[in-house]
Copies of this chain bind each other. A is one copy, B any other.
């Protein structure tokens, strides 16, 4: 009932239908990650440069421009991916089809890592944005981030239709308020001659070095995360899908560039510096809008879009996991649609992993970012390289131009991958670099298991095997272990008689000599069924029974294993179980899991008897 309240009632499978999005709703659905990443990208660039003082910070804008250049390249590359893979060209599919299974799986692994980190980074950065305006919240970073995670998880478990609507508001609120603020800032500065070219001197704790600049660049590259989202989701667009998706991508890239260049430029040329724990974007908003309503609105909309950005992962991760699972690289249950026609297992898995990251990194987005850009750029590079081969193989119209664009994209993102991987290695990128091959290895292990299972269960082995068995058709021998004489036993005997005329009861004698009494009673009620008394000098129930079963099978001529019929008392309340011997349970699990040889094992017949109270 609680489940229905939060998740909603189940939806029949037949109501599953395509829920196409127009450009406005598609932008809301796919862009939050991409647009909001300017929040942490700005912050990371600032933190990387501030150690070199004023001379460091004076490089913010040039670095921002370089990243914007990379953004344009990557956007064009993905624009082409949309043309080449109109049915949705996630990095996994593009890399797998063009480069081979292992590169495809590497792209998939980096995407899974990336989705998880995006969720964690977005949520923690969202908390940072709101805590910048209400500093008392800094103390509660982790619980707040976990709370937002819970909300996002529930919304996603409810299903995609609600998701679309829930997201449009924050995205457009963010776009409108932010663009207005940037425009207002520029105009204000022009009118009051507020732009500075000479900076206040800020002391440097480190000299400005090439390494430092590269670090700032790597840190800022997180601005590009989320740009690939549209290329994965082409089929969700209204027709003509390819055209609409392409346009939406270009609009989104333009907005990303505008927000990024605008905010980083204003920050530098208004000489904005944060006070205390606040983020650099909060400091910029403070400078432009003062302390009033406008400022609070900006911070709230930053928080909202960041929380919604985490949602991008919740769309991407479960879908990719389901694709991988249906290809046999992840557990099959990930392909199952839950009550609300969403991949519930994938959503819950992502939520658990994200929660773990937030707890481990104490809700600090700055600590999480270094792990994160590597995975994104590995998948960018693999996907772009795949596209190069794609154009080379298909050779359609303008293939040389297209190949060149993707080729430049591949080289640029490849170089960025190397820069990020090396400059951020010790700060955490090593974790992702280590994780990706491990995950690929796991993919293969899972597939191996499924393949081996399928081979063992193959129907092709049926006919021969079956013929032999039908020929040797004899009555099933049944063994009935008893611990005392009670009414549950009567039911078990009745069933045993219905299914076999070869029944053997056994009593395991734990208390020495208790067997005589039991045997007398037994013969009074069931004289037609033989009872064996098995002594158990060490008071174990299991091992004398197993030994007896083995001996009994060896001595019989029918070449099959005797079935065990177990009367099981089921108490009315769960806690009552500690008041009863768990013998039936113990016997069941030791029969079920005792691995003697492969293939068919001993049949267990469970005769439940429900108790009152």
A residues apposed to B, CB below 8 Å: 10-14, 331-333, 336-339, 446, 448-450, 452-453, 456-459, 461-462, 465-466, 469-470, 473-476, 485-488, 490-491, 494-495, 497-500, 510-512, 521, 525, 536-540, 563, 568-572, 576, 578-581, 588, 591-593, 595, 597-613
Contacts and interface: CB of A to CB of B under 8 A. Distances in A.
A486 B469 contact: no
Given A452-B613, A476-B495, A337 B539 contact: yes
Nearest to A478: B499
Contact of A498 (B449, B475, B486): B475
B487 A459 contact: yes
Pairs A-B, 10 closest by C-beta atoms: A499-B499, A457-B486, A12-B537, A601-B608, A604-B606, A10-B538, A476-B498, A491-B600, A452-B613, A331-B579
Contacts of A14: 512, 537
17 contacts: A10-B539, A13-B537, A14-B537, A332-B580, A338-B539, A450-B579, A457-B488, A473-B498, A476-B498, A591-B608, A600-B607, A600-B610, A601-B610, A602-B608, A603-B607, A604-B605, A606-B606
Q: Please classify the interface of chain A as helix (H, G, I), strand (E, B), loop, or mixed, using the class held by over half of its residues.
A: mixed
B579 A332 contact: yes
Contacts of A536: 13
A604 B608 contact: yes
A11 B537 CA distance: 8
Contacts of A612: 452, 456, 598
B469 A494 contact: yes
Nearest to A338: B539
A605 B604 CA distance: 6
Nearest to A11: B538
Give the residue among A499, A537, A570, A597 with the most B Cβ atoms within 10 A. A499
Nearest to A491: B600
Contact of A499 (B452, B459, B476, B512): B476
A179 B332 CA distance: 74
A603 B487 contact: no
B579 A512 contact: no
Contacts of A336: 539
Nearest to A588: B606
A183 B613 CA distance: 64
A169 B442 CA distance: 57
Contacts of A461: 487
Nearest to A573: B449
Contact of A456 (B487, B525, B595): B487
Contacts of A579: 331-332, 446, 449-450
B578 A598 contact: no
Given A11-B538, A474-B498, 7 more contacts: A13-B510, A13-B539, A331-B578, A452-B613, A458-B487, A465-B490, A491-B600
Nearest to A457: B486
Contacts of A498: 473-476, 499
A598 B610 contact: yes
Give the residue among A458, A485, A606 with the most B Cβ atoms within 10 A. A606
A476 to B, nearest CB: 4
Contacts of A485: 459
Contacts of A456: 487, 611-612
